[in-house]
Amino acid sequence: MDVFDAILNRRTTNTAFIDKKVSEEDINTLIKMASFAPSHFNCQPWRFIIIEDKELIKKIAKIGGDSMTQLMDDGRFWKQYRKYFRFDDDEIEKTKDGIHIDHMPAFLKPFAKQIFSEAGGKIISRFRVSRILGNDEEKLVADSPILFAIALTKDEYKKEELSRFYSVISMGAVIQNLWLSTTALGMGMQFISTPGEIPEQWEKIVNLLEVPDTYELAAVFRMGYVDKNMKRPTIDWKSSQRKSPEELSFRNRWK
């Protein structure tokens, strides 16, 4: 696949993956492509854990689902992220950023804007929105053929040192290499970020994966082969808009 096509076709996969084991060859390709990312002084501050064990995936899925429900129930998620939510085509066409929550059960539609607002707590509990989202998250992760985790060495990922920033930039390059490679292989990937919002939940994953104290577990993704016809989750979003080059970039000086 041409690199430009891969960049333009890359998308976050919100749906389930098809029920197919990821081949050893494809796993090795992903690890190799990830390893070719740039890093400061070529220090390669990362280590990767590929999780195929069904029981382990199920346990992480439960942590993901519980974290999602917990974040919804305590209202933190909406307060923190409300500014990114769009509810109709006009809104997202205007801002060209954020995520368009365009898919939800019919009974929720009349309340969409209230649910995704600070005052939405009552509606969230009345319609069990946190449970719907938590269950969807758990199922999506549990049914994923593999999870891919990235840990950064604390020799580089050090508090208040520039090397911490460099390590995160380097990991970003790894993630993009992975994302483009999955695209080329007919696969998809999705961040499992919700447990990262709750330190106790993240620690559970660290312990399950037996990440040593010398490494920081930094990111976990689910991966598998995609099929465009897979059913969307109960509540879902899309976000393919991008701001124009004119809006995003300047020549020589700011503005």
Kindly tell me which of 225 and 237 has the beta carbon lying closer to ligand FMN.
237
Q: Which is nearer to ligand FMN, 14 or 170 (CB)?
A: 14
Return the residue of 191, 200, 207, 212 that touches ligand FMN, per CB under 6 A. Answer: 191
Q: Determine the size of the site formed for ligand FMN (CB under 6 A).
A: 9
Q: Binding of ligand FMN at residue 29 (CB under 6 A)?
A: no
Given the complex with ligand FMN, which of 14 and 163 has the nearer CB atom? 14
Cβ closest to ligand FMN, residue 45 vs residue 188: 188
Which region, judged by CB under 6 A, interacts with ligand FMN, from 51-59, 118-126, 158-166, 187-195?
A: 187-195
Least distance in Å: CB of 165 to ligand FMN?
A: 15
Q: Would you count residue 12 as binding ligand FMN (CB under 6 A)?
A: yes
Binding segment toward ligand FMN, per CB under 6 A, in 56-64, 160-168, 185-193, 244-252? 185-193
- Return the range that interacts with ligand FMN (CB under 6 A); candidates 10-18, 105-113, 180-188, 201-209: 10-18
Mode of pairing for the β-strands spanning 46-51 and 85-86: unpaired
- Which residue of 44, 114, 193, 234 would you call a contact of ligand FMN, by CB under 6 A? 193
Residues facing 76 on adjacent strands: none
Q: Which string of x and - marks every residue 220-249 that binds ligand FMN (by CB under 6 A)? A: -------------------x----------
How far apart are the C-alpha atoms of 201 and 186, rounded to whole Å? 31
What minimum distance in Å lies between the beta carbon of 238 and ligand FMN? 7
Q: Residue 188 CB, nearest distance to ligand FMN (Å)?
A: 10
Q: Does 176 bind ligand FMN (CB under 6 A)?
A: no
Task: Provide DSSP, the chain.
Answer: --HHHHHHH--B--SPPPS-PPPHHHHHHHHHHHHTS--GGG---EEEEEE--HHHHHHHHHHHHHHHHHHHHTSHHHHHHGGGEE-SHHHHHHH--SEEEEE--GGGGGGHHHHTSGGGHHHHHHTTHHHHHHHHHHHHHHT-SEEEEEEEETTTS-TTSHHHHHHHHHHHHHHHHHHHHHHHTTEEEEE--GGGGSHHHHHHHHHHTT--TTEEEEEEEEEEE--TTSPPPSSEEE------HHHH--SSS--
Rounded to an integer, what distance in angstroms lies between the CA atom of residue 97 and that of residue 166? 26
CA pair distance 215, 204, nearest whole angstrom = 15
Q: Structure tokens of 74?
A: 């305590």
Contact positions with ligand FMN (CB under 6 A) in 77-116: 99
Exposure on the CB side of residue 239, measured as CA atoms within 13 A? 14
Q: Which is nearer to ligand FMN, 33 or 71 (CB)?
A: 71
Closest approach, Cβ 15 to ligand FMN, in A, equals 11
Give the footprint of ligand FMN on this chain (CB under 6 A). Answer: 11-12, 14, 99, 190-191, 193-194, 239
